[in-house]
Structure formats: structure tokens, C-alpha cells
Chains A and B, each alone.
Chain A
Amino acid sequence: MSAHAYTTPPAANPHSKLRPSRYWIAAVVAGVVVLALIASSLLNYVYLETIPARASLYGLLAVALVALGTFIGVRAFTRDRASRRKHLIRAGVLLGLGVLLWLLVIDVFVFTQSAGPTVAAICALACLPTTAFGLLVVRRMDRNEKEPWRLVLVAAAWGAIVATSLVIWGESLWDATAQHTLVPGPGLDASIAFSAGLLEELAKGAAVVLLFLVMRDDFDDVVDGIVYGAAVGLGFNFLESVAYMTNIYSIFNPEGIGWEAAGIQWYARQVLGLFFGHATYTAFIGAGLGVARQLPHLRQKALAILSGFLIAIAGHFAWDAWLTFFPIDPGVLGLLEFHLRTLIMTGPFTAAVIALLLFGIRYEALGLVDQFRKEAASGSGTILMDEVPVLASPWQRLKQRLLAFRRGGFKAYFEVARLQSAQLDLAMERWHRERKEMDTPMEAEAALRQRVLELRHQVPAS
């Protein structure tokens, strides 16, 4: 028997029965989301404030087009090159239509709000660079195998458009009922905080669940889960920031301090709370799903997913309910209190998610190094034994790419980057197959191996 046979793990599930059931669950989740959106928009239109509700109703078609467009677009990359272009064009047309319709809806919505379109546009522009920075940082947290931008952006778009639309009706109904029945004060605050924690985290979490179910090849472990979860949270935070800034501007503008008030909101949500807030909460949902991805038993998987949701809901609840227990002094001391409040209340949650992330990165790295060695020992030529220390370290990989850059410019840099990326993909595939977490056939691994060999021929020997 050859060395290759000893070191290549057998196909864990070459003809998995998991894939169809996963897709069925995803279809059910998507169906529930669509129904909830339709119900929410109709009920908003009938019972709540007419203008925003009308926007929400008209926005349904835009949301559906964007959802369908992104689904087709994302799936296009898993198809062969011949049909990929056709699917990408379809996705592009649908996305374009959706965006146009959405802009129209926003236009109508914004023009009928007291802040006006200029203020809304300025607020959105102010939030764009900070949110983009947040997404860049979050994506870079995955040191070994960065998530594709298309999925990170889909996650953020869901958080901004779909999740916010999902919660309007539920939160409005809950808040209105509470305000008409409960005693104003901490009890009412707690009730509204339960509504925000529960409904917003469920709406954001639905996106991470769908990515977990549909894009399994790009959802490897706890690190990926945290990246996707945080991206959804950043998207939600973007639209919520714009809404709060425009609202607070219109409230305080007659007093002559509209921009100051909006600026404080921007700082609180887009600087201080960029990572200490929605990004942290939803990252926990992703962490739960990521851990579940690698657990062997169904009961453990279910508990891990439930735990992620529970932590996210509790973190969100704690901030909303107990914020008022930390009053801010109007003087200079208030500046310090303002920052300390965020650090004390959300800091422990952010620290906990960072701890999970660091442990996850270390765990992933150990698994990959093990697979680099096994693949090198197999003699397939995809990974050489002296490449293992380089592939094992992000800094060494960067150093190798920079050396290539010095030798052959950008072309050489990207050739080496593509080779490293393909080698990491192969090791990741082997890792999952060895752990029996794989439902793609063995041919997928053979194709990855072939791709590495092709890329190796393009890279000149160093």
C-alpha cells in the first residue's frame, strides 16, 4: 500500500444524506423569514405609522429581489466556469433591480421624514467608512483562510436590510403594548430590552444560520462563525446608526444642536460601539454555529447553537436594560463615564468573544499544521515538507509573498498568494474529512490537489 493511501483520510461522507436535509432546513428558515417580512410589512401598513410602513411594504419586493440576486450570485461561484457567467449576469440584473427599487423606497421614505434627504445621506456617508473599517478588521481576524468578500458583504447586507425590516413590526407591537400596560420605569425598560434582545438577535441570527446551512464549504469553524456573525452585526449597526442619527438630528435641530446630537450618536455607535455592540452579540451566534459545525453529536450541536443565541440575547438585553443604571454626568467627568460605561457593560462580552476567537484560531492552526505535514508526507507534491513552517505562520506566508513581490512584482506576489490559499484550502478540506465533518465527495479534494499542482507550475522556484 502506498504512503498516499495511509495519509489521505478516506471520504467521510462521500454521498452524504446531510446535504439535502440542510438545504430543506435552509428553505424552511428562508420561507419563515419571507413570511415574517410580508406579515410585518402588511401589519405595519395597516396599524402603524403610515409613511414608514408604506416604505416597508413597497420595500418587500426590493428585499425579495436582493435576496434572490445574492443567493444566485453566491451559488454561481460553486458552479463550473461555463455556467458561472450566466448565473452572475442573472444575479447582477436582480440585484440592480432590487437596489433601484430600494433607492426609490428610501427616497420616498426619506423625503417624508422631517430630517430630510440631505441629513440622511450625510449620516449614511459618515457611517460608511467606519462600517467598512469594521468589516475589514473582522474579515482579517481569520488569519488562515479569509472568508470571501461576497459572503462577508452578503452577511452585512442582511444585517442592514433584511434583519432591520424583520424586527419593525414585532418591536413596534411589543413596545406599544408595554407602554400602554406597564408602569413606566425599570420594569418597562426591562420589557423593551427583552424585546430588542430577543427579536433583533433572532433576525440577525437567521442570516448566520442560513450561511451555515447553505455555504458549508465557506463555514469551517468557530472563527468563520465569529466573522460572519460580526459582519451581520456591523450591517445592522450601520442602518440603526443612520436611523438614530437622523431621528436625533430632527429632534434636537430646532434647539440648534442637531448636528452635535447626531455626532454624539455617530461616535457612540460607529466608533465606541462599532465592535462593542451588535458585532459582539451576533458574533456569539456565529460562534455557537461554528462550534456546532465541528461537534460530533446532534445534542451537542443543538446545545452549542442554543448557547450562541442565549449569550447574544443576554448581552443585548443587559445593555438595553441596565444602561440607565449608569447615568452620565453632564460635566467633563461625563466623557470618562461615557467610555467606561461601554467598557464595563459590553467589554466582558467582547472579551469573551475574543477569547473564543483566539482559541478557535489556535485550534484551527493546529489542525491545519497537522494536515500540512500529512499531505507533505503523502508525496503528492502539493505541499513540500520545507513549506510546512511557512504555511503554518501567517507572518511567514506574508514574508514569502513579499519576497516574491521583490522578485517579480505584483504578478509574482499574487501567484504565491493564490498557491498559499489553495494549499490552505486543501489542508482545510483534509482536516474536515479526517474529522468526518465533510459532505462533499472525495473528488472535491482531488480537484483541490490538482489546482495546487497547477498553481505550483505557475510559481517560479524561489
Chain B
Amino acid sequence: MSVAPYDQILTLYRTLLVFATVAVLILGVGLVEFVYFEPPGQTTGKTAHIVGVLEYDPATRTTKGPDRTTFARTDEFAGVVDWSQLPPDLMVDARWFNSFGSIVGRVGPGTAAELGPQSTVPVIVPPGLHHSLPGHYTFVVERLKDGQPVEVLARRIVLIER
């Protein structure tokens, strides 16, 4: 009885299936990561009040001028949060992200009551640079659970012009 020779294309096919299994695992890990950092069912319905994003004077640590959505790259600016709108025992923080996703300003974490006096959150120019880098900057007030941000209570996006 003759036996049909083994077609080696099947080895390639099976190798590809093994790689695809690893690929599915990688995508699965990605999905788990996403769910871990974006846990479902965390919406409390609470919202924070961002008073505005204003020009900032680092010497006096005060803001001035009107609420704005665009700034020149030479401008110093800060977000102003009204913490009193939130339940005093709620664990929160406020952070600035630049267009590369790096944190460039932060207050907290702490309870809303603890952060009450720190209503101004300035953007810090990264070390080695003279001014903020251009691009879209995101300012978020976040609720934390077990030390990890789980819900955005307020968000503002401003543009730093080139």
C-alpha cells in the first residue's frame, strides 16, 4: 500500500497557526490590560467643575485673564478646579498630559477636601526645555480607586500653537 508523501506546506500552515495562537494571546492580554485600566461599571455620575484654563504667573503662583482654549508656546498656563463641587471624601487627582501622553502637571492624589486649597494646577515645562512643546494638552480631574484612576470627572483639551 502506498502512502502519500507528507506535504511540507502543512508544516508552514501549522507553524502559522501556532504564531496566530500567540497573536490571539497577545491581543487577549491587550484586552485584559484595557479592561484593567478602564474597568467597566465605574461611572458614578459625579462631575467635577473645571473653572477654566488660564494664563499662569509662576512668580506669584496666580492665574490671570480669561478662560482660553489656545495658548502660545511661550505662555505659562494652568487649569483651575473647583474641588468643592465634589464629595469631600472622594479620592481624586488632577493631571495635565502633553501631546506625547507625558504627565506635565499634577496635584493629588488626595480627597477632594484635602485638595481644596490646591485649585490651580500649572503645566510644568519639562527639564531641558525652555517652553511647553506645541500640541494638544489634556487636563483631567480623575476619581481614584486603590490608587488607580478609574473615572474622568472632568476634562479640558487646549491647543498650544507652534
Q: Which residues of A contact B (CB under 8 A)?
A: 114, 179-180, 182-191, 193-194, 222, 250-252, 254-255, 284, 287-288, 291, 294-295, 300, 303-304, 306-308, 310-311, 313-315, 317-318, 321, 324, 352, 355-356, 359-360, 363, 366
Contact = CB atoms under 8 A, between A and B. Distances in A.
Nearest to B139: A184
A314 B22 contact: yes
Contacts of B30: 190, 193-194, 317-318, 321
A360 B12 contact: yes
Contacts of A189: 101
Given A190-B33, A295-B9, A183 B152 contact: yes
Q: Which of B9, B22, B33, B134 has the most CB of A within 10 A?
A: B9
Contacts of B107: none
A314 B37 contact: no
B129 interface: yes
B134 A310 contact: no
B162 interface: yes
A222 B162 contact: no
Given A187-B38, A193-B30, A317-B26, A307 B9 contact: no
A185 B130 contact: no
26 contacts: A179-B136, A182-B152, A183-B37, A183-B38, A183-B151, A184-B152, A186-B37, A187-B36, A190-B30, A194-B34, A251-B134, A291-B9, A303-B17, A304-B13, A304-B16, A307-B19, A307-B20, A310-B20, A314-B23, A314-B26, A314-B27, A317-B26, A318-B26, A324-B101, A356-B16, A363-B8
B96 to A, nearest CB: 10
A283 to B, nearest CB: 12
Nearest to B136: A179
A251 B98 CA distance: 12
B157 interface: yes
Given A183-B151, A313-B23, A314-B23, A287 B16 contact: yes
A288 B133 CA distance: 42
B15 interface: yes
A311 B17 CA distance: 10
B135 interface: yes
Interface residues of B, number: 42
B155 interface: yes
Given A291-B16, A356-B15, A254 B155 contact: no
Contacts of A295: 9, 13
B49 interface: no
Nearest to B130: A255
A311 B19 contact: yes
A324 B130 CA distance: 24
A284 B20 CA distance: 10
Interface in B78-131: 95, 97, 101, 129-131
B8 A306 contact: no
A272 B118 CA distance: 45
Contact of B73 (A254, A306, A321, A352): A254
Nearest to A306: B20
A310 B19 CA distance: 9
B12 A222 contact: yes
B79 to A, nearest CB: 14
Contacts of A308: 16
B27 A184 contact: no
B51 interface: no
A294 B155 contact: no
